[in-house]
Structure 1
Amino acid sequence: MREADIQINRVDWIAVSIYFALVIIGWFNIYAAVYDSQVEKSIFDLSINSGIQLVWIGTALVLITIIMVADSRFFENLSLVIYLVFLVLLVLTPFVGKEVNGQILSIGFGNFRIQPGEFAKFATALALAKVMERPTFDLSKKNYQLIAFGVLLLPMVLIILQPDTGTAMVYFAFFLMFYREGLPSYYFIFGFGFVAVTLLALGVANNLFLVAGIVGIVLILIFLGKRTWQRIVAFSLIGLGVIVYIYSIDFVVSKLPPHQQNRIMVLFNPNLDPLGVGWNVTQSKIAIGSGGLFGKGYLEGTQTKFDFVPEQHTDFIFCTLGEEFGWMGSLVVISLFVGLLYRLVIMAERQKTRFTRIYGYCVVSILLFHFMINIAMTIGLFPVVGIPLPFFSYGGSSLWSFTVLLFIFIKMDSSRATQLGRLG
């Protein structure tokens, strides 16, 4: 009992409080997104999304209780088993899953269905932490890089095959953790240059991306070799690669589903199809902009009330917040997310074991990626890729997976004194 009391006292209640604040604010916004003044159903009504979300919030509390009473070593000892289980589920999903809008994302029985792709994020985080926890694991060496990238790419490829490009993109967030754990910086320089060249090849980049691409290539040359002949060879290879890449990008893009091709083009030209593909983003920006400084008031959003923005309770939930609570309301929610991320970094840095620190930075990376991309998507700075806002968007799999991801780390953090004892 005494050990349990010590662990309870060590729970980071700041992170827990921010979690519940986001969940509750998100729940009220889900109700606002589906509110119909002509019907006026209660927020607790199980026939509408807010009522269903409340059930998922209740079950999330059960998951939190299970995680917090479990031994923290459970997740460490079974991390690779959990990872393998979700790899199997990802393999099975295209064969036994339910197809929605051309994607097979969920499996289950009857009305109870989950998306393995959502849960695979925390499973991958656990597996990476387990694989990389050894003191000899050095990300500056190629063989260890291949191991880490292999663990990352397996679920990513399986998710792409569903196809679920948005969820697969999230796995790039793990590179933030890799950087913290010693991955050479030239990987990020190359990645930055890759993005710049991609935008140039698509013919949609402006001078900013042109400059960024040139700077990236110059920095790559500096890192690739110190001698003149090495830099000449490197420059020639990069130049050849860029030429091949530019000529092949049209082929690659042409292989994407039509709706994904259109989303990429609409991002850089919103007027391309304002009544079709560009409708969601255009209406989302109108909703957020019309909120002004303090918003129109709760349940008073016209863009929300008349369903101008499709999927407003899921991927576009942020525009509901922006319209009804304005700039100030958006600032409060953004501040909560930033505060949670900052707190998680502090928690990760104070860990006594490498396993927990790595897992903590995985949590930070995933939440940061979702937070940034979702909001950027709703204001037209990123293509619509179907990435939910953590703890905020409607959906059982989304809420459960983010809850499990976060509270496993909170549990590990609360047990750090015990971890120190094991190390001793």
Structure 2
Amino acid sequence: MRQEVQINRVDWVTILIYFLLVIIGWFNIYAAVYDGQNAKSIFDISINSGIQLVWIGTAVVIITLIMVADHRLFENLAIPIYLVFIVLLILTPFFGKEVNGQVLSIGVGSFRIQAGEFAKFATALALAKFMERPTFDLTKLNYQLQAFGVLLLPVILILLQPDTGTAMVYFSMLIMFYREGFPAKYYVLGLGMIAVVLLSLGIENNLYLAGGISLVCLFLILLGKRTWKKTIVFSIIGLALIAFTYSIDFVVGKLPPHQQNRIMVLFNPNLDPLGVGWNVTQSKIAIGSGGLLGKGYLQGTQTKFDFVPEQHTDFIFCTLGEEFGWVGSFVVIVLFMALLIRIVMMAERQKNRFSRIYGYCVLSILMFHFMINIAMTIGLFPVVGIPLPFFSYGGSSLWSFTTLLFIFIKMDASRASQLGRMN
């Protein structure tokens, strides 16, 4: 299928923000690998910035192909695309390349892709296809099970690699679920469980935590009329909390040692500062040393002396903070916020449910990456290997985010020819 691009309906503001982030990210990738004594050109393909430029060029090709395609192609092929990446995720542990104990990429020869990254947009398309039906109602259990089945299948396969960070991203699409009518009470329950998990990890004796929360529940119950039914409910809640808090220790104890250490560093930054806490400590030093205006482009000392590992990928934001300071960091954060706001505006003006659902999936994924990556670099979230969209080094990352965003830009540009199936 082929369709002419409707130039007058293309959201050029969103495209401009995209290219600004990509170019700023490219310059920061060069800064992250810059060696003052033996510096190479930013275009040299023997270093990361040169390789990233090649990937940027191929991303432009991907954009062109998406924009000249018929917008109905993505809806018609949503399920086949999803199934292709499910198969790739199944094959990855058996035929993929192992790096640092994880089997994340699959391919032939030097051409390899991370199926987990591309499966994000495939899952977004599949969810949009499943949920576009006028009868689909997320307040009903059978439809909830269908939606969670589509969402959880790639999550389970990615956890087998194992890649906890990428698997977590998929749960960000619960934001879209909320927009489409998933009951708010489940979010309150989920947030409460997350709070209990965090508290249980930060408090040495979980019995104190369970007892404290039980007392709060008792107080709330006693505010109303005291009945034997409420007493039984309170007792069940208390016992459940005690069991839940101790089960958390069991689950965390089953995680790989490096993931356990990353979680504990979140609550105790001084835990092994020369070991498991090194990355976060050095990242915060780099960002803090930048001050208001930064040290200047290519003048970052943390970068030149390789104090921050993975500074061109997961910790690219600390390069920005060190060399461009608070002002530079603020500008990039504003660009990301502007992009997210544009996506919300675009999603709400769609004329069919498929495009709107997909748009909110795009919003959810990009917002999760943006927030968690920056939170990692400043020590507010455990290090889980989440790249900064359009900014971090990596072909699979850039291509998957580009595909994710521009499919939606194409849908938005073609909204005049969409059938009205809004609910």
- The offset of 1:214, in angstroms, is 5.2
- The offset of 1:230, in angstroms, is 6.3
- The offset of 1:201, in angstroms, is 1.9
Q: Where does 1:281-300 land on structure 2 (aligned, <5 Å)? A: 281-300=280-299
Superposed CA offset, 1:54-109 (max 9, x none) = 00000000000000000000000010110011000000000000000000000011
Say which SS state the counterpart of residue 6 (structure 2) adopts.
Answer: helix
* Residue 259 of structure 1: aligned partner: 258
* Residue 377 of structure 2: aligned partner: 378
Superposed CA offset, 1:206-250 (max 9, x none) = xxxx79x959x86xx99xxx9967655544433222111122222
Give the counterpart letter for 1:398 in structure 2. Answer: S
Q: What fraction of aligned residue pairs are identical, expressed as a percent?
A: 79
- The offset of 1:391, in angstroms, is 0.2
- The offset of 1:402, in angstroms, is 0.2
Say which SS state the counterpart of residue 388 (structure 1) adopts.
Answer: coil
CA distance in 2, matches of 1:96, 1:228: 61
* Residue 249 of structure 1: aligned partner: 248
* Residue 40 of structure 1: aligned partner: 39
- The offset of 1:172, in angstroms, is 1.2
The answer to whether the Cα contact below 8 Å between 2:169 and 2:365 also exists between their aligned partners in 1 is: yes
Closer/same/farther in 2, CA of residues 378 and 204 from structure 1, 3 Å limit: farther
- The offset of 1:6, in angstroms, is 7.1
The answer to whether the Cα contact below 8 Å between 1:337 and 1:371 also exists between their aligned partners in 2 is: yes
Give the counterpart letter for 2:68 in structure 1. Answer: V
* Residue 166 of structure 1: aligned partner: 165
Give the counterpart letter for 1:372 in structure 2. Answer: M
Closer/same/farther in 2, CA of residues 374 and 177 from structure 1, 3 Å limit: same
CA distance in 2, matches of 1:228, 1:42: 76
Superposed CA offset, 1:324-346 (max 9, x none) = 00000000000000000000000
Give the counterpart letter for 1:136 in structure 2. Answer: T
The answer to whether the Cα contact below 8 Å between 2:136 and 2:143 also exists between their aligned partners in 1 is: yes
**Are 2:74 and 1:75 aligned?**
yes
Considering only aligned residues, what root-mean-square deviation do their CA atoms show, in Å?
A: 2.3
Give the counterpart letter for 1:172 in structure 2. Answer: F
* Residue 387 of structure 1: aligned partner: 386
TM-score by length of 1: 0.93
Q: Where does 1:135-146 land on structure 2 (aligned, <5 Å)? A: 135-146=134-145
Say which SS state the counterpart of residue 105 (structure 1) adopts.
Answer: strand
The answer to whether the Cα contact below 8 Å between 2:134 and 2:421 also exists between their aligned partners in 1 is: no
- The offset of 1:151, in angstroms, is 0.6
Closer/same/farther in 2, CA of residues 227 and 48 from structure 1, 3 Å limit: farther
CA distance in 1, matches of 2:322, 2:400: 28
* Residue 119 of structure 2: aligned partner: 120
Say which SS state the counterpart of residue 418 (structure 2) adopts.
Answer: helix
- The offset of 1:363, in angstroms, is 0.2
CA distance in 1, matches of 2:170, 2:359: 15
CA distance in 2, matches of 1:90, 1:171: 14
Q: Where does 1:271-350 land on structure 2 (aligned, <5 Å)? A: 271-350=270-349
Give the counterpart letter for 1:402 in structure 2. Answer: F
Give the counterpart letter for 2:42 in structure 1. Answer: I
- The offset of 1:8, in angstroms, is 1.6
- The offset of 1:171, in angstroms, is 1.1
CA distance in 1, matches of 2:361, 2:340: 11
Closer/same/farther in 2, CA of residues 234 and 308 from structure 1, 3 Å limit: same
Superposed CA offset, 1:10-63 (max 9, x none) = 000010000000000000000000000111100000000000000000000000
CA distance in 2, matches of 1:204, 1:294: 39
* Residue 130 of structure 1: aligned partner: 129
Say which SS state the counterpart of residue 104 (structure 2) adopts.
Answer: strand
The answer to whether the Cα contact below 8 Å between 1:204 and 1:268 also exists between their aligned partners in 2 is: no
* Residue 203 of structure 1: aligned partner: 202
The answer to whether the Cα contact below 8 Å between 1:176 and 1:365 also exists between their aligned partners in 2 is: yes
The answer to whether the Cα contact below 8 Å between 2:89 and 2:158 also exists between their aligned partners in 1 is: yes
The answer to whether the Cα contact below 8 Å between 1:107 and 1:114 also exists between their aligned partners in 2 is: yes
Say which SS state the counterpart of residue 99 (structure 1) adopts.
Answer: strand
The answer to whether the Cα contact below 8 Å between 1:29 and 1:321 also exists between their aligned partners in 2 is: yes
- The offset of 1:316, in angstroms, is 0.0
CA distance in 2, matches of 1:229, 1:180: 38
Number of positions where the alignment pairs a residue of Structure 1 with one of Structure 2: 412
Give the counterpart letter for 2:31 in structure 1. Answer: A
- The offset of 1:124, in angstroms, is 0.4
* Residue 17 of structure 1: aligned partner: 16
Q: Where does 1:74-93 land on structure 2 (aligned, <5 Å)? A: 74-93=73-92
**Are 2:150 and 1:151 aligned?**
yes
Closer/same/farther in 2, CA of residues 386 and 37 from structure 1, 3 Å limit: same
Give the counterpart letter for 2:354 in structure 1. Answer: F
The answer to whether the Cα contact below 8 Å between 2:3 and 2:69 also exists between their aligned partners in 1 is: no
* Residue 185 of structure 1: aligned partner: 184
CA distance in 2, matches of 1:390, 1:102: 24
The answer to whether the Cα contact below 8 Å between 1:26 and 1:391 also exists between their aligned partners in 2 is: yes
Give the counterpart letter for 2:94 in structure 1. Answer: F
* Residue 238 of structure 2: aligned partner: 239
Closer/same/farther in 2, CA of residues 229 and 359 from structure 1, 3 Å limit: farther
Say which SS state the counterpart of residue 270 (structure 1) adopts.
Answer: coil
The answer to whether the Cα contact below 8 Å between 2:127 and 2:150 also exists between their aligned partners in 1 is: yes
- The offset of 1:354, in angstroms, is 0.2
CA distance in 2, matches of 1:130, 1:232: 46
TM-score by length of 2: 0.93
The answer to whether the Cα contact below 8 Å between 1:274 and 1:282 also exists between their aligned partners in 2 is: yes
Structure 1: unaligned runs, 5 residues or longer: none
* Residue 50 of structure 1: aligned partner: 49
CA distance in 2, matches of 1:228, 1:70: 65
CA distance in 2, matches of 1:232, 1:128: 42
* Residue 63 of structure 1: aligned partner: 62
- The offset of 1:347, in angstroms, is 0.2
